[in-house]
Structure formats: C-alpha cells, structure tokens
Chains A and B, each alone.
Chain A
Amino acid sequence: MMTIIVGGGKVGYYLAKTLAPEKHRLVLIEEDADMCQKIAGELSDLGITLIHGDGTNMSDLREAEIEDADILIAVTGHDQNNLVACQLAKKYFGVSRTIARVNNPKNINVFRSLGVDSVVSSTAYIADIIEHEVDWARINRMLSQKVGNLRIQEFQMSTHTHAAGKQVYQLNLPIGVILVSLIRDKKAIVPNGQTQVQAGDTIIAMGNEESIGQLRAYLEAAEIEA
C-alpha cells in the first residue's frame, strides 16, 4: 500500500514516523526547504521518501508518484491547501481514499460536502473533551445545591461493598430516591432495575433530603469492614 502525506509539520512528521514501521510505502511532501532539511535524514533512515514541493501542485504530486497512491493524507496548517490536495488526488489522480486535517473545526462539514473521505480536527476533539469537562463542572455544581426540595448526590462505591454485584432492584433503594446515572470507566450509564452495580462505580442519585440521607446510610452500612 502506498500513502502520500502532504505537510511535514508536527502532525505530518510524526504521522509518517508512526506509519513507517507498518508495511507502507510512504512519501511526504513538504513545502518549506528548512523544514525538509531538518527532517530529511531521519525520514530517509526510515525509508520514507521526502519531496520538497507543494502538495497542491500537479507536477510535485506527479513527482511523488501519486498515480500509484492508495491514500493521500493532507495535514498542512492551511485548510484550503488540504482541501485542494485531496480534491486533486481524488478527482484527478483517482486516489481512492483521501484524509484531511482541518484546522478550523467549522470546516469539517464543508470538507465532507466537497468530497473529502475522512476529516480530522484535533481542535474539535479537544473541544469535545473540554465540553465534557464543562458538563461535569455543571453537574458538580448541581450536586452542591438543592433544586426545590430535591437534591442530587454523588456516591462513590468503594471496592469493599456488599452492594457490588447486585442489580439495582436488589438494592432496596429508599422510597423517593432514583438513580440518575452510574459512572463507570468515565462513561455514564443510564441504569434500569436490571443494571448491575459494580465496585468502583460512581452513583448519581436524586431524591429529597430525607431519602438521600437514607441512601447514604444504606450504602455506608453495606461497606465491608476492612
């Protein structure tokens, strides 16, 4: 299989190095002469062909033997160059799979509509992670407040509890308490009666002051004496 990477910045360089040990024929195209000089030695040791050129220029693409390529990955810092490289590869040279990095996450859908097979945005990934963090911050804030006479409370299940392994309906939850969510391995589960509670789970429960108190007492009682 042959892969062309357009852009020898941090993303392209490490991508090339990561892909190299696999059974890939790799060609990297980088526009900047200084950058080429910096990475040339190491890439040639790994058997990666480096071309000093413009990945949106037809003759530079031909020099990279794009006619033989199965995949083109465009990861420069400029979205317009990544788009044009993918379009030339796909629509003119018949490369079957194109992958583009977008620097501006707003361009994800634009690239998809304009025919790029896979679109990757590190900004969007990071934003996504942060957004989840923000959600947590909001829940944590809720946890500390009462909404009407309701309270949302987080309980951490220790590794030593009789509750572990039981299904939710077997827990004999106090009346007036519902389990909103179980957090396991950083994923939120919406539980039903058959959901099994495991040691290490975080339980998010909602109820009035009194029933939440009863749940706390119940869970504390379930702790196995060490």
Chain B
Amino acid sequence: MYFIIAGCMKIGATLALQLSQEDHDVVVIDSDPKNLEALGTGFNGVTITGMPIDEDVLRSAGIERADAMAAVTRDDNINLMAAEVAQQLFHVPKVITRLYSPEQEIVFRRMGMTTVCPTSLAVARIKEMLLPEQKTVTLTLAGADVRFHVADANRRIVGKKVGDVKNTRIFGIVRNGAFSFAEPDSPIEAGDLLVIPEIPEDGGDEA
C-alpha cells in the first residue's frame, strides 16, 4: 500500500520505519529536514521537506495516489488541517489524525474524522495500572467500543469447564498473570480471573 506520513517525530518515524520494512511505499513529510534524517539508513521510502498543510507539498508526496495518510506532527491543528485537506479535497480513502487534546478529539470525531489521542490512551492505561480494583476496560476496535470486565472465578464454577457455565459468556482466563482464550473445554481453577465481555449500555460512540 501507499502511505503518506505527515510528521517525523517519534510516532511518525517509528510508523514510517515499520511500514517501509513491511514493504509498503511510504512518503514522510516534515518541515524540519533534521527530523527526516533521524529515520536513518533503515528507511527505504521517500522523504519530503515541507509543510503538510500545503497542497503543493501533498501533491508532490503523491497524495492523489495514496491509500492512506497519518497526520502525526507535534501540532494538533496542523494535523487536523492536513487530514481535512487529504480527506475532503484529495479523497484519500483512510486518514488518521493524531490529537493530544482529548476534548478536541471528541469534537472532530463527531465531524467524521478518525482520530488517535495518545493522551487518552496513556491516561486510560496508566489508570488501569494504578487502580487494581479497576476491573473494567474499554477497547476501541474498528471504531466500535468493546468493554470487558474481570471477575474472580467463584466457588460455584471452580472445577467446571467454560462450556458448562451458563448465562455468562467467558472470553478468556488469566491464570498466574498469563492470558489464554477461553475454549469450551478449558477448565476453571481456583484463583482464576475471568475476562467477561459486556455490551456497552449507551450502544457505543455517539456519531
């Protein structure tokens, strides 16, 4: 696939290297040539020095042929503008915008943009790790929210197999800190933590 990555800071550079090593065509745009040099010799894509909100720069990056673009500069507003230009003016099929501001993320998601907010992701993760009693996690998969909660295996089901437990769908089992998917014939042992999926009450993201 043909990817354009706007911004060559940590996220952009790491993403560019990985995609190019997986044999994709990658063009990286950054206004600072020093950032592009940091990609090193392991990168076999194309680099362009310029502002990713400039139509001419995007054209020279081949935006008319791009399958997808990731706007990951350090500036939220540059990312938004570059992504909107790519999406609405050049009709790039898939455009991802990196935003640091969780509040803006909500607004621009509502406007139909696909966003990633490292702040929200890190906060959620850190909270999970800080609060051991926090036993519910929400994952966003393909734009849909899926919630899981973790429950101790109670005495009534210890010794049974997953397939024998009625009324509760078990997704996986954490035993001694290791996760395994629940199969109908997986045994449930004392001390197991069960991972149980939930349907979110609000029906997911309001769009």
Contact = CB atoms under 8 A, between A and B. Distances in A.
Contacts of A104: 54
B130 interface: no
A81 B77 contact: yes
Given A57-B101, A58-B104, A113-B89, A106 B80 contact: no
A80 interface: yes
Given A80-B77, A114-B84, A114-B88, 15 more contacts: A56-B76, A58-B107, A80-B75, A83-B77, A83-B80, A84-B77, A84-B80, A84-B81, A87-B80, A87-B111, A91-B107, A107-B53, A110-B55, A110-B81, A114-B85
A59 interface: yes
B78 A80 contact: yes
A105 to B, nearest CB: 12
Interface string B68-81: 00000001111011
B206 interface: no
A42 B55 CA distance: 40
Contacts of A78: 77
Contacts of A110: 55, 81, 85, 89
Interface of B: 53-56, 75-78, 80-81, 84-85, 88-89, 101, 103-104, 107, 111
A30 interface: no
A79 B84 CA distance: 13
Contacts of A113: 88-89
B81 A80 contact: yes
Report the contact-size class of chain A (Cβ under 8 Å from the partner): 20 to 34
Judged by DSSP, the binding face of A is: helix
Nearest to A79: B53
6 A-B pairs with least C-beta separation: A80-B77, A80-B81, A84-B77, A58-B103, A80-B78, A92-B107
A104 B75 CA distance: 18
A106 B54 contact: yes
A66 to B, nearest CB: 13
B88 A56 contact: no
A91 B56 CA distance: 27
A88 interface: yes
Nearest to A58: B103
A5 B56 CA distance: 29
Nearest to B102: A58
Nearest to A91: B111
Interface string A73-90: 000001111011001100
Contacts of A91: 107, 111
Contacts of B111: 87, 91
Interface string A39-62: 000000000000000001111000
Q: Which of B76, B77, B111 has the most CB of A within 10 A?
A: B77
Contacts of B81: 79-80, 83-84, 110
A57 B55 CA distance: 25
Contact of A80 (B55, B80, B101, B104): B80
Nearest to B89: A113
29 contacts: A56-B77, A58-B103, A58-B104, A58-B107, A59-B103, A79-B53, A79-B81, A80-B53, A80-B75, A80-B77, A80-B78, A80-B80, A80-B81, A81-B77, A83-B77, A83-B80, A84-B80, A87-B80, A91-B107, A104-B54, A106-B54, A107-B53, A110-B55, A110-B81, A110-B85, A110-B89, A113-B89, A114-B84, A114-B88
A163 B111 CA distance: 64
Contacts of B88: 113-114
B107 A88 contact: yes
A204 B85 CA distance: 46
